[in-house]
Structure 1
Amino acid sequence: MGFERGDIVEILNKEEGLKGSYYPANIISRVSNKDYIVQYRTLLEEDGSGPLREFMSTDRIRPTPREIVADAFRLSEVVDAYDRDGWWVGKVIGKTGSKYVVHFKGTGEKIAYPLDRLRVHQEWDWKNGVWYFG
Structure 2
Amino acid sequence: MYQILAAIGTDEDRALEQAQAIADLPRNGDVSVTLFHDFADGNPEGASVHQVAAVRRAVEYLEDEGIEVGYSESSGDAAQAILDTADELDADLLCLAPRERTPAGKALFGSVTQQVILEGSRPTLVVGAGEAGE
TM-score by length of 1: 0.25
Rg larger for: 1
The structure whose residues are more often strand, as a share, is 1
Bigger relative contact order, structure 1 or 2, given CA contacts below 8 A and separation 6+?
Answer: 2
The structure whose residues are more often helix, as a share, is 2
TM-score by length of 2: 0.25
